[in-house]
Amino acid sequence: MPLAEGLEYSDNLPHTISAAITSRLRIDNLNELPEDKRPPRDLWWKPYKLKDWLDDVFDIKKEAKAKDFIDLNLEEAE
């Protein structure tokens, strides 16, 4: 069964099946986000830029602040 006109073997395909599946999963996952939080399509294929964009949109802190930690003084505990 021919894959497509001019392609005799799967080695001639531009992408592997796993890359195609991974790409499709990425698209489906991003489309599940609310429209106002969905990144622009040109960022979908740029992982580092996409991560930064999502961090900004969802207000994810890159560094934990000192106030986020509780100082436990175990010497005073009985």
For 8-37, the pLDDT digits (tens) are 666 666 667 667 777 888 889 999 999 988
Give the per-residue pLDDT at 21: 73
Domain ranges, ordered by start, for the chain: 10-68
Give the per-residue pLDDT at 74: 64
Cut 0.75: pTM above it: no
List 7's β-bridge partners, or say none: 4
The number of C-alpha atoms within 13 Å of 13 and in the hemisphere containing its C-beta is 12
Q: What is the pLDDT of residues 49-63, one digit of tens each?
A: 988 888 888 887 655
| DSSP helix/strand/coil, 3 | coil
24 Ramachandran zone, left/alpha/beta (phi>0; psi -120 to 50): alpha
Give the per-residue pLDDT at 38: 92
Q: Of the candidates 30, 1, 28, 4, which has an alpha carbon nearest to the alpha carbon of residue 15?
A: 4
